[in-house]
Chain A
């Protein structure tokens, strides 16, 4: 058996589990107690398959399915293997969490939810192993549709329906771009297998057209600026495990598609393309984090952070393309490794954070940060895992987010290799943007954690919040452990990513880099840069323990409990703490031109003053609404054709026939 066979089998089992969920719709206990755990086991098996494929040569197969004369081709190479590992590993944790989370969900919904959830997983797996444009598009669409139904699970709310609509709209715009890109690559000859597309010889213009179509097509799915608008709407609407899947895994299939099409199918990368990716990435990351800082809905905030992280991934990939396009494949590999590593890291910590948000939502019913507070005292387990995720996403050592940002910085410091002085000076500016958005992320997660988990509670809850249940904890522990392991042992994963880039680009990191052993990460050479998270953690832990003991031995460990001091001010109420909006105020002040702020300030003599403030995304006004208005006007004119009388329609058919006869001779 080869990896490809295992991957196909496991994906089919997922679909089977979904159907079983529908069959057992009357027995919710079976679904949460058997079907979801089985789905988690399949996910784990898929992760193992991915790991296996990372070290194995590419294997392919033709499925006995599809249209006559148009069978489905599947293939698993190290790149697919890496993304299968990501899909399997992250969805294992999310499925475990779901076993607990969906308990108590209404009977009727649960069966359908189970079907959509597993079809969603299976179609993502098929996207990753598809080896022809036909299967790719079919599974891409089924991924979009199944996630659309998941987003609109709570379809009674108008807002959720609207979110689903926007999501579906942008997903299809993206799909259109991808389809056209395949069309350009195909160029009217041969068939649509990836092998044939790879062979296609494109002129410079058509290659660039294919690149742009693919970049924006996949960018729409990834949530790249300015096509990100669906993301902050759709993620909060979906049930939390689904948000975790969409943000953690589905966005990554878009990154997969981008790497597959640009590096593998189009090939012949130019540095101009890389620069485009780089600049869009930088803009996306800065914009994402600035808007995240303005949010007080936890899930919306996390969604904006996904936008930011997609930007960081694009910076890595863009750097890689710039270097490859200017003939420096080794630096290019470093950028690609950084981008792909961040893809995996983001999947892990964002999955974890969404699960944490779900645990809070389930036990308190709250999504609004301004109503939370002091949760660490009721939900210590969730609080701890969330802290791991928050530190990881803030790119703090020794967790995983830091490793990939470190690699991205290392890639950007290879800029002196470039010949063009314009590009050479643009790269450090992008590095500055990356540094800024990394630091802003730290601020944002201090806000999230401080407001939600620390301090006094702001809201009287009807009952004391419970901590996450056993299944839910298991899911979060798995992802938190992954954050730690990917942070502490980066060299192992980078070794695998090196295999990916060898298979993709025929180039890898220098041997010297891989020779420093598992303890020391040194991507180019030890004299240039090195980092050892284990030593890092051990020193801090050792000093922690040593200080703790010495202070107790030399002095004492006496402790008294008292009321907080706070400069002697009595009566500390929770209204005196910063809210989430208050914490973001300095950013709103400093970056005021970026935001569209609507304020309602009460009159001084108002007996019941209400202060209201809304922050809006400018993209709606300058991009989305004009397009929407234009389409409305257009459709109104086209609507005039529709008369409702059969004679008029016959006339149209007749005119069309004549036109065809004239032009197609």
Chain B
């Protein structure tokens, strides 16, 4: 394997995923519209929104600190790194060893802390409300995510996502009971972390129920565009992590061009299915009261921990 083609693959994957991330969001929204018997804005709508936002003049509160202005860029950088590390299209990428699953969870935590701080920076009532709720969701979702990933790590004896994909993808198909627990927990975390129903509603602007939207209320124009783009990247990254652990098929090795074509095809199919599934899930469930969210995530945390225990008790 020559390093040059690995680097090409690395760049290709990062750029491609960053470009298609808004499309994933557009697809989810479109599916939701269809399921709700609406015609929907079309799957290209997120690009139009981003373009519009980038054109506008940024409006900044008088007392905004540098932290507030830097956060969208930091957030975007974190999410770009995340999709660079996760084997979306190919394994053995040069950046992949820079962070294993624990560092990946840390990366998401870093992004969350910065957004929450930015939410508190202006000192508005909604900003702090959003930050408080986001951290409340985060402190339960983060360990649940970590436990889910540990279950996969224990099976493949590695915390490196690449090794996890290679071990789980190349073994003959075995259903691990622990992975069933992990999958449910992961789904719950995915919903919570990406501000989806039943925890949060991405399309709400009803003041009292919003979480993620409340934090980024003061952002406008290019800052808002970057934050929104980063959110769609985060959703894509979560999908990709889910695929890597629970459906690790069709991922190419870096340098294998035919494999890459297969990987792109597999990715499109998987993303389409996952997006449609997410839309279905969001259509059939209702948003929870905020006080129920800890129960929901506590269940995810317990399930993930149970998954790990199951691995120790049954699978060794």
Contact = CB atoms under 8 A, between A and B. Distances in A.
Interface of A: 373-374, 376-377, 387, 391, 394-397, 402, 406, 409-410, 413, 415-416, 421, 424-425, 428-429, 431-432, 435-436, 438-440, 442-443, 445-447, 449-451, 454-456, 520, 522, 526-532, 535-536, 539-544, 547-548, 551, 554-556, 558-567, 569, 572, 574, 576-578, 582-583, 585-587, 589-590
B150 interface: yes
A312 to B, nearest CB: 14
18 contacts: A391-B113, A402-B106, A410-B102, A436-B143, A436-B301, A442-B142, A446-B117, A450-B128, A455-B128, A522-B97, A528-B157, A529-B102, A543-B73, A544-B74, A551-B222, A559-B60, A564-B123, A589-B294
A431 B150 contact: yes
B132 A555 contact: no
Given A529-B160, A535-B95, A590-B294, A563 B61 contact: yes
A344 B128 CA distance: 33
A562 B62 contact: yes
A481 to B, nearest CB: 20
Interface string B116-127: 110111111111
B187 interface: no
Given A416-B316, A544-B74, 5 more contacts: A374-B63, A416-B157, A450-B120, A455-B120, A522-B97
B55 interface: yes
Give the top 3 A-B pairs by smallest Cβ distance, nearest first.
A455-B123, A450-B120, A435-B143
Contact of A560 (B58, B70, B81): B58
A559 B140 CA distance: 37
A578 B116 CA distance: 13
A442 B61 contact: no
A586 B134 CA distance: 11
Nearest to A401: B106
Given A424-B312, A535-B95, A578 B128 contact: yes
Given A577-B123, A589-B291, A559 B58 contact: yes
Contact of A555 (B54, B59, B127): B54
Contacts of A554: 54
A435 B142 contact: yes
Chain A interface main SS type: helix
B73 A548 contact: yes
A610 to B, nearest CB: 22
Contacts of A583: 128, 131-132, 135
B218 A551 contact: no
Interface string B94-138: 010111101100110110110011011111111111011101101
B126 A567 contact: yes
B261 to A, nearest CB: 27
B159 interface: yes
B309 A425 contact: yes
A377 B63 contact: yes
B84 interface: yes
Contact residues of B: prevailing secondary structure: helix
A66 to B, nearest CB: 49
A453 to B, nearest CB: 8
Nearest to B107: A397
Contact of B59 (A406, A560, A587): A560
B: interface residue count bin: 35 or more
A565 B313 contact: no
Contact of B109 (A432, A439, A532): A439
Interface of B: 54-55, 57-63, 65, 67, 70, 73-74, 76-78, 80-81, 84, 95, 97-100, 102-103, 106-107, 109-110, 112-113, 116-117, 119-129, 131-133, 135-136, 138-140, 142-143, 146-147, 150, 153-154, 157-160, 163, 205, 207, 217-218, 222, 226, 291, 294, 298, 301, 304-305, 308-309, 312-313, 316
A155 to B, nearest CB: 38
A439 B218 contact: no
A379 to B, nearest CB: 11
A439 B153 CA distance: 20
B100 A456 contact: no
Most buried by A among B60, B159, B304: B159
Given A454-B67, A539-B80, A562 B60 contact: yes
Nearest to A445: B113
B69 to A, nearest CB: 9
B158 A527 contact: yes
Given A520-B97, A562-B62, A446 B124 contact: no
A619 to B, nearest CB: 23
B147 A397 contact: no
A394 B74 contact: no
Given A374-B63, A377-B63, A454 B125 contact: no
B102 A455 contact: no
Given A410-B159, A586-B294, A572 B124 contact: yes
A528 B136 contact: no
A608 B132 CA distance: 29
A647 B135 CA distance: 71
B217 to A, nearest CB: 7
Contacts of A432: 143, 147, 301, 304-305, 308
Q: Name the residue among B117, B154, B294, B305 with the largest chain A CB count within 10 angstroms.
A: B117
Contacts of B309: 425, 428-429
A395 B106 contact: yes
B95 A539 contact: yes
B120 A531 contact: no
A450 B309 CA distance: 37
A377 B67 CA distance: 11
B61 A536 contact: no
A398 to B, nearest CB: 9
Nearest to A532: B98
A530 B131 contact: no
A540 B301 CA distance: 29
A416 B109 CA distance: 28
Given A377-B65, A397-B110, A561-B61, A436 B139 contact: yes
Contacts of A451: 120
Contacts of A589: 291, 294
A445 B120 CA distance: 12
A267 to B, nearest CB: 30
A449 B117 contact: yes
A406 B109 CA distance: 14
Contacts of B126: 566-567
Given A425-B312, A540-B78, A578-B128, A562 B61 contact: yes
Nearest to A520: B97
A562 B103 contact: no
A559 B57 contact: yes
B76 A547 contact: yes
Nearest to B316: A416
Contacts of A436: 139-140, 143, 301
B61 A535 contact: no
Nearest to A584: B132
A387 B139 CA distance: 19
A578 B129 contact: yes
Contacts of A438: 142-143
A390 to B, nearest CB: 8
B121 A454 contact: yes
A49 B154 CA distance: 42
Contact of A576 (B107, B124, B143): B124
Given A413-B150, A435-B143, A443-B135, A396 B106 contact: yes
